[in-house]
Amino acid sequence: MAEVVEVLVPGGKATAGPPIGPALGPLGINVKAVVDEINKKTASFNGMQVPVTIEVDEKKNFTVTVGIPPTTALIKKEANIEKGSAEPNTIVVGNLSLEAAVRIAKMKHDDMLSYDIKNAVKEVVGTCVSMGVNVDGKKPKEVFAAIDSGAYDKVLAE
């Protein structure tokens, strides 16, 4: 039976230390080889926390599967901010273009509860509310209304 280890690692900068080393050490596989594989596969997510699943079979062969970083990490990268606002309803820390929100929604769509891209974008915009990030220079709640009224249908259809 295969052993499965799930960890959250910094993109392109995983190390043999915790959480990977202690989880893989008892399985008797080459931890450095696993870390090298993880870093190669997560290099494009540099600076973001990335979910990684490592599957080890009985013959000590391993498979590394990389997930998509959390929506908040993708928003921070696209908006070019370090962290969300401490007071999201009063202090705005960044701005996300609607096109970036659509890109994030398309990346995360398989992991979301939404059935269509319009609602997936609304989920991303909803995350912006709690982070203190505006969308297209407007408050996220105004963008919700605009999406519902059909103002962004052309952008969402692309």
Q: Quote the CATH superfamily of domain 71-157.
A: Ribosomal protein L11/L12, C-terminal domain (1.10.10.250)
Per-residue buried b or exposed e for 21-57, using 16+ beta carbons within 10 Å of the residue's own CB: eebbeeeebebeebbebbbebbeebeebbbbbebebe
Domain ranges in the chain with CATH number 3.30.1550.10: 3-66
pLDDT at 57: 92
Superfamily of domain 3-66: Ribosomal protein L11/L12, N-terminal domain (3.30.1550.10)
Evaluate if residue 140 carries a pLDDT over 90: yes
What are the pLDDT digits (tens) for 58-85?
898 999 999 989 899 999 999 999 999 9
Tokens of 7: 């960890």
**Which residues have a Cβ under 8 Å from the Cβ of 137 and sit 6 or more positions away?**
95
**According to the model, what pLDDT value does residue 142 have?**
94
pTM: 0.78
**Which string of DSSP letters, residue by residue, matches 36-96?**
HHHHHHHGGGBTSEEEEEEEE-TTS-EEEEE-PPPHHHHHHHHHT-SS--SSTTT---EEE
